[in-house]
Structure 1
Amino acid sequence: MTTSEFVKQFRESDPRKLALQASRYPDVDMPYALNQIQGWQTALRKLPSWAACDGVVYPPHLNMEQCSSEATARYKQQVARRWAERIPNASRTSMTDLTGGFGVDFSFTSRCFDCATYVERNASLCAVVGANLPRLGILNAQVKCAEAEAVLEQLEPQTMIFLDPARRDEHGAKTVLIADCTPDVCQLLPSLMQKSQFVMLKLSPMLDWHKAIVDLDGKVREVHIVSADGECKELLLVLASDGTPEVQVFCVDIQSRPDSEGQYPRSEFVYSIGGEAEPQPTNSQFTIQNSTFLFEPNASVMKAGCFDEIARAYGICAISRNSHLFLSDREIDGFPGRTFAIDAVTTMNKRQLRQTLSGMKQANIAVRNFPLSVAELRKRLKLNDGGDTYIFATTTSDGDHILMLTHKTKK
């Protein structure tokens, strides 16, 4: 049995168990085969269209875990296409990815352009990507094994330049500041803007995106805060030199698995900063007593901190300034987050708690601006985890500590 036959036959098996059977397959390059099996299994979860493509070569496990998911890569593709279509009188479009990595983002964004160049300083990754691109049907691309700075210096004008700077220092520690990443985008900014119509920059979700706008000298035109299944995954900045003072912020939450039609559904909330400030919403429209629905924003909205904008856009009211929970007397289609129907509200008064929680054995508990942790509150309420009831413990604008008993709506 050859190595490729072994990989194909056993790709759904446990690599740890296969490793114990290595002596039974003397003609198989077992370390390589096990890496490919593990890579394919990761791709089945993160990159389903790649897993469905025979012959794709997978890199070491760390590269697979760090690469973009297909859901987020397809989102970048849509952003790149929208910006490329804005370029007037573009007879031939081009892009260069200066930090190619395993090439997931490149494989999707490159399809938006007539020609594309993948740049990566790691020779092994270059070899893997060079073999994979034709298998994935990408025939408009060339691969360069080089340093990003050297390529940028010699680069002809491009439609788009893409960068995903390395976010670890020489000791392997994580970094979140732009200046601490490799390459340093702030230092390269003049060249990047000179050599491209627009730049797409992928950064850590831990980054302070407000500071990034300042650090990047006012060139940021769009901020995309991208989450998948409720977990914030990355910041995506689009830079251009069109002189527009306004910055659009996109709070996006994508479903990580495709639906029956192969699409990746998402919720999206978009707002602008940098223009004239709109009147701030008031908190007098609803009270806890006359509200029937509770709204919890998704991770991207929480990262953006756009709570006034959310309240204004959907006509909802914050429980308090720091609760990050909202109320309404009606259900809202398309709210960027979770919606709950309110069943009961109680204070922390022992008698009231006993009456409200009578017969309840379990509940999902969340605390927002509340003096007790989830573990402490669960112990006090004597409730197990789970079930269909969701308890939100928070503090009102009047300083009252309350529990809101809710259940998820179907929307």
Structure 2
Amino acid sequence: MSKSIINILSPKVVREFIHTHMNDDPVTLVLQSKKYPDLPIREIAAQIQSRKKAQAKLPEWYEQDDIIFPHGISMEQCSSEETAKYKASLVQGNSVVDLTGGFGIDLYYLSQQFEQAIYIEQNKELVDLADHNFTVLEAENIDRVNTTAEQYLTIEETPADAYYIDPARRDESNQKVFQIEDCTPDLNLILPQLLDRKAQVLIKLSPLLDVRRALEVLPNVKELHVVSVKNECKELLFKIEPGYEGAVKRIAANLVNGNRSLFEFEEADEGMLPTFSQPLEFLYEPNASILKAGGFNAISNAFILNKLHRNSHLYTSNERRDNFPGRTFKIVAQTVVNKKKLKAYLPQGKANITVRNYPLTVKEIRKKTGIREGGDVYLFATTLIDSSLVVLVCEKV
């Protein structure tokens, strides 16, 4: 993305064309470029493709016709509006610095909680894009600096109250990396400088990262937030405060259409063993963020539920828990993976299948039984406390 691209996409006639052709196939538009000799069709097609993604991911920005979106990795990796707003609720003060500005989504929402915000980005093309979009959005309290995080920290005159870091998770060959030491900028070099500034630090890392190892590597972590959107894990957020040495509060957040489902616990809560039993009347499947945060026992004890097996992470009770942070089902029957036995419960030959601590995959079960995807019946293939392999036939409640 360059200033020339911004100029190419900014004219009114181009913006109107994009708006009119939003439902067109970008590839088809490129193939038909000769029909529009006076328009930059390739750039327009790329912008339409990015705007299609933004419609669900960044609805507030999408509504602004003059916003220009990047394409490729920058659009794929940028935060969603929901997760950016969630981050903005975690830190406070008068000034905030985003050391890895990127497309600028996170800092835009963070800046609404601070009097002054500073955007740091080494890629000049992204800086130009952020400058354009922040101007469109009238984000007047955001200063833009085109440099690296490391260089900025050497020239910063007044420490900020909070720093945000979203390290790049791709190597020089553009391959994804997931270990902290492989990310850029190097947190081992930057964190000591930020802690010396006595500032809050918020770090975003990949949901594929091992949580326990991250907590061993990162210093002074006060809170770990595992953030899901519609039950799909999107981000790990580590809130660091200088000098903090207490227990790490783990917050599993599931964001759905502006609503937040939160479950909080500490390592000590996880150390309390749950009770186990055979399946009772109701079955519970915790949100993905709870499982990623490692709240296997904590969720059982918090809601007074029995666990089916140490490694199954499914829970049961005779009385329904209305406020459970996850999916709740009524158990209709208990059987095994057998085509004839399952057929009695599936008049349409369809079911939604979930596997928890079971030797077969969903694909293998479908191949073995011929069960098609969909319908109102939910099958949970799992292992019980007595090590028996079963399928729980359920209906959602």
Q: Same fold (TM over 0.5)?
A: yes
Higher mean Cα deviation, 372-381 or 165-174? 372-381
Residue 269 of structure 1 pairs with residue 280 of structure 2: no
Residue 405 of structure 1 pairs with residue 393 of structure 2: yes
2:221–2:244 CA contact under 8 A, matched in 1: no
| Distance in 2 of aligned mates of 1:358 and 1:141 | 58
1:96–1:161 CA contact under 8 A, matched in 2: yes
The aligned residue for residue 342 of structure 1 is: 331
Offset from partner CA, 1:42-99 (integer Å, 9 cap, x none): 211210000111211111233111111111111111122xxx1xx6xxxxx1011010
The aligned residue for residue 211 of structure 1 is: 213
| Distance in 2 of aligned mates of 1:117 and 1:350 | 61
Instruction: Quickly say closer, same or farther: Cα 1:167–1:292, change in 2 above 3 A.
Output: same
The aligned residue for residue 327 of structure 1 is: 316
Q: Which of residues 190, 193, 215 in structure 2 aligns to 1:191?
A: 193
Quote how far apart the aligned CAs of 1:348 are: 5.6
1:296–1:326 CA contact under 8 A, matched in 2: yes
Aligned alpha-carbon RMSD (Å): 2.1
Offset from partner CA, 1:124-182 (integer Å, 9 cap, x none): 00001001112113110111110110001222211110000000111112111111100
The aligned residue for residue 261 of structure 1 is: none
Quote how far apart the aligned CAs of 1:345 are: 1.1
Q: Which of residues 359, 375, 392 in structure 1 aligns to 2:380?
A: 392
1:253–1:300 CA contact under 8 A, matched in 2: yes
1:160–1:196 CA contact under 8 A, matched in 2: no
The aligned residue for residue 28 of structure 1 is: 39
Code of the residue aligned with 1:157 in structure 2: it is: P
Offset from partner CA, 1:6-52 (integer Å, 9 cap, x none): 22332332222222332232222222222222222221121000011
Q: Percent identity?
A: 39
Quote how far apart the aligned CAs of 1:394 are: 1.1
TM-score (norm 1): 0.88
| Distance in 2 of aligned mates of 1:10 and 1:349 | 51
| Distance in 2 of aligned mates of 1:346 and 1:189 | 53
Instruction: Quickly say closer, same or farther: Cα 1:71–1:355, change in 2 above 3 A.
Output: closer
Instruction: Quickly say closer, same or farther: Cα 1:376–1:216, change in 2 above 3 A.
Output: closer
Residue 74 of structure 1 pairs with residue 85 of structure 2: yes
| Distance in 2 of aligned mates of 1:402 and 1:242 | 49
Instruction: Quickly say closer, same or farther: Cα 1:399–1:43, change in 2 above 3 A.
Output: same
Instruction: Quickly say closer, same or farther: Cα 1:348–1:35, change in 2 above 3 A.
Output: closer
- Structure 2 segments unaligned to the other structure (5+ residues): 1-11
| Distance in 2 of aligned mates of 1:364 and 1:45 | 25
1:158–1:196 CA contact under 8 A, matched in 2: no
Instruction: Quickly say closer, same or farther: Cα 1:365–1:276, change in 2 above 3 A.
Output: closer
Instruction: Quickly say closer, same or farther: Cα 1:340–1:277, change in 2 above 3 A.
Output: closer
Offset from partner CA, 1:205-240 (integer Å, 9 cap, x none): 1111221122123x1111011111121111011000
Code of the residue aligned with 1:169 in structure 2: it is: D
Counting only pairs closer than 5 Å after superposition, residues 44-83 of structure 1 correspond to structure 2 as 44-80=55-91
Segments of 4+ moved more than 3 angstroms: 275-279, 347-351, 354-360, 379-382
The aligned residue for residue 3 of structure 2 is: none
Code of the residue aligned with 1:142 in structure 2: it is: D
TM-score (norm 2): 0.91
Instruction: Quickly say closer, same or farther: Cα 1:138–1:374, change in 2 above 3 A.
Output: same
The aligned residue for residue 3 of structure 1 is: 14
Counting only pairs closer than 5 Å after superposition, residues 215-254 of structure 1 correspond to structure 2 as 215-217=217-219, 219-254=220-255
Counting only pairs closer than 5 Å after superposition, residues 116-195 of structure 1 correspond to structure 2 as 116-155=117-156, 156-195=158-197
The aligned residue for residue 308 of structure 1 is: 297
- Structure 1 segments unaligned to the other structure (5+ residues): 88-92, 259-263
| Distance in 1 of aligned mates of 2:67 and 2:371 | 49
